[in-house]
Amino acid sequence: MTSLLNTQRPPVFCPGCSHERVVTSLDKALDNRGLQGHQLVIVSDIGCSGLFDTFFNAHAFHGLHGRALTYATGLKMARPDLKVVVTMGDGGLGIGGAHVLATCRRNIDLTLLVLNNFNYGMTGGQCSATTPSEAQVGSGFLNRLEKPVDICTLAGAAGAPYLARLSAYQKDLSEQIGAAVDYAGFSVVDIWGVCPGRYTKHNQLTPKRIDERLADLPAVNGPVSENQRSEYSHAYAELAARQIDSDALTHIPAQFQAPQSGRREVVILGGAGQRIVTAGELLCLAGISAGLHVTQKNDYPITVLRGHSVSELVLDAREIGFTGIDRPDVVLALSPEGVARRPAMWPRLSSDAMVIAAKGVSLPHCNAHVEVLDFKAGKIKSADWALAALAVMAARGRVLTQEMLAAAVRHRFSGKVRDLALATIARATALTAEG
């Protein structure tokens, strides 16, 4: 049996501080399990409990207040074979509350020892999340206004599969800590102790009083049956192994000739549900099939199925510097929300520009050539109008050709979706012949 205590750096707590009992009990527990320093990481944060990592001959990771569980999670996920023990005070528990709850929900195999002494010792005895309302602490009257949390109740509700509420003075402390360390999942150990440096100067808290108060609470010590489930790093490995490698990147070969040379700008003004982004992508893929450089910028609200959807496309044989829209060559006006989204654009449209508008969408005055199409009469659903409008562009030889569009559709879609897209293109092309 070899202790992991660092004899060069003995504990430096105030005389009578219960933290020291936890140090020796933890050491005994680790020692009893035959754990060696290199198999173990002690992760700590700020405060008197944050000194723990310095007392052990083990890997050590000491970080910011309340964040110990974040480092521990990264360590454990990267090295699931390591034993990771995290120490924090009731201060770290409070400031890092979100991490405590999330770690309970995750159930990653870490052991959390909360050295709960009901106040912030290091900074002068201010109230923490566990300070009783009636205590006299360094926060004046403020703690009287807040209700303390019970760590085990909180952690249990958040899904912690192993809980223990202990006194730093109980005789079997090292066995209890050892059992938590053995548990293959997240174990939360709430260890009540006294802080003679700060807390017990003004408050009556003795080992006996701790026992009495613990006896008033329901006993919590061991696995929580309703929270038993797979440990996170194992479950992750299992699910990750089933993920299909979809890394393959596809190239679109340049095989066609674009109908025009020079920079071309297209703006698709539509609404949610009209597959505007997909149509923009198809136009870009078509451009790539003609050896063009392309860019696509999309603009839609953060909510879905409501409001505008605008896609701005630039195609150019040369590299594209400016990705914004300057003078659109073609505007597809497919919904009132989309048209309303670009009010400043309309007066600037030149007479060479073309607007393809769905019937019923009213347009501001402009100098461009406007072609109105009755997609409904052509039995084309609103969700396909953007694709249909691309087919109209292709039929008119604007920006893309029919073979470029067909190549884009074949690249982007397969099976039934592809057949439907090609059918939409055929119907839209027929509409242009009628018109």
Binding site for ligand SF4 (CB under 6 A): 13-14, 17, 19, 48, 117, 121-122, 195-198
CB 31 within 8 A of CB 4: yes
Q: Does 397 bind other proteins (CB under 8 A)?
A: no
Number of other residues whose CB lies within 10 A of the CB of residue 105 = 14
Q: Does 258 bind other proteins (CB under 8 A)?
A: no
Please report how the helices 402-412 and 385-395 are oriented relative to each other, as an axis angle in degrees rounded to 10.
Answer: 150
CA distance 62 to 88: 11
Q: Does 144 bind other proteins (CB under 8 A)?
A: no
Length of the chain: 435
CA distance 121 to 193: 12
Shortest distance in whole angstroms from residue 191 CB to ligand SF4: 12
Binding partner selected for residue 225 from other proteins, ligand SF4, none, CB under the kind-specific 5 to 8 Å limit: none
Binding partner selected for residue 344 from ligand SF4, other proteins, none, CB under the kind-specific 5 to 8 Å limit: none
Interacting span for other proteins (CB under 8 A) from 16-24, 36-44, 126-134, 349-357: 36-44
CA distance 26 to 6: 13
Residues from 266 through 285 that contact other proteins (CB under 8 A): 281, 284-285
Number of other residues whose CB lies within 10 A of the CB of residue 229 = 11
User: Two tokens at 192?
Assistant: 């009540």
Please, which residue, 79 or 381, has the CB nearer to other proteins? 79
Burial class for 303, CB neighbours closer than 10 Å (0-12, 13-18, 19+): exposed
Q: Does 59 bind other proteins (CB under 8 A)?
A: yes
Please, which residue, 90 or 337, has the CB nearer to ligand SF4? 90
Please, which residue, 129 or 357, has the CB nearer to other proteins? 129
CB 298 within 8 A of CB 324: no
Give the number of residues in contact with other proteins, rule: CB under 8 A. 69
CA distance 308 to 105: 38
* DSSP for 191-241, written as a single string: EE---TTTGGGTS---HHHHHHHHHHSPP-EEE-GGG----HHHHHHHHHH
Shortest distance in whole angstroms from residue 160 CB to ligand SF4: 24
Binding partner selected for residue 198 from other proteins, ligand SF4, none, CB under the kind-specific 5 to 8 Å limit: ligand SF4
CA distance 26 to 232: 24
Q: Does 298 bind other proteins (CB under 8 A)?
A: yes
Give Dmax (Cα) for the chain.
96
Please, which residue, 18 or 401, has the CB nearer to ligand SF4? 18
Among 19, 99, 264, 342, binds other proteins (CB under 8 A): 99
Radius of gyration over every alpha carbon of the chain, rounded to an integer in angstroms: 34
Shortest distance in whole angstroms from residue 312 CB to other proteins: 9
Shortest distance in whole angstroms from residue 46 CB to ligand SF4: 12
Please, which residue, 64 or 372, has the CB nearer to other proteins? 64
Q: Return the residue matching tokens 């073309």.
A: 354
- 126: helix, strand or coil: strand
Binding-residue pattern over the window 192 to 211 for other proteins, x denoting contact by CB under 8 A: --------------------
Binding partner selected for residue 14 from ligand SF4, other proteins, none, CB under the kind-specific 5 to 8 Å limit: ligand SF4
Q: What is the DSSP letter of 347?
A: G
Interacting span for other proteins (CB under 8 A) from 116-124, 129-137, 201-209, 291-299: 291-299
Name the residues that contact other proteins, by CB under 8 A: 9, 37-38, 41, 43, 53-54, 57-64, 67, 69-79, 81-82, 98-99, 101-102, 236, 239-241, 243-247, 249-254, 281, 284-285, 287-288, 291-299, 302, 320-324, 326
